[in-house]
Structure 1
Amino acid sequence: MAMYKEVETRRRRGRGFSDMSQYDKHYMHESRRVPQVENVDSVPLKSKEGWILFITNLHEETTEDDLRFTFNEFGEVKNIALNLDRRTGFVKGYALVEYDSYSDAVTAKDCMHEADFLGMIIKVEFCFSTGPNH
């Protein structure tokens, strides 16, 4: 008859067990790393509706009228999407501004990128563009 050694088993849940090898830790870290791409010339793409700009770092009390008044200086604004936080009722910090004309959208992007808007430095980029492998 065989003798069995009694082994204490412990139920473990979740991630980050201490018995992970160094290789596993390194592999896990490397697989989650997001590649940083700098100085990539991306080409803007038109959506089905028009040329859409993505504006970030907006002041929380920005209104649609503020955006329409400012961005109408560069051309006819077709549509504005300004999302509000359900809990606070303030702007989430970003908006989408749509133009019919490519030239109007480029002018607005060039003039308003890193400009002061209601006390905040906003960033303006095209919402749809080709990635680094175009």
Structure 2
Amino acid sequence: MREVTAAIIVKNDQVLIAQRADNDKLAGKWEFPGGKIEPGESLQECLKREINEELDVEIDVLDFFGESIYTYQTGSIKLMAFWCKWISGNFTLKVHSKIAWAHSYELDLYEFAPADIPLVEKLKQSL
């Protein structure tokens, strides 16, 4: 099982979501940004690196939010999400086609990747 991280970045009661690019396996699906953990890397280090690589911003990783386990055709992933705070930088799309800031009551308007759906449901109760 692959371990993957996700950032729950909140600003003004809205959460950052990102749409997977057209060349991605899950093209068009929305997700909480993050990525695969490199060998020897902590979950927090992974999130900071991935968010910087994908969106060109710096974040602080705060408390653990929750996890989701999902089996895709390519294998199972364990998605571990953390509350994060945007520290600096301007959002630049490097691997996503779009980003959006959404209120919790707006999350149902977006089609999320299957592994992210349990996190969306939990987030709707948290914000």
Max Rg structure: 1
- Same-fold status (TM-score > 0.5): no
- Larger strand proportion of the pair: 2
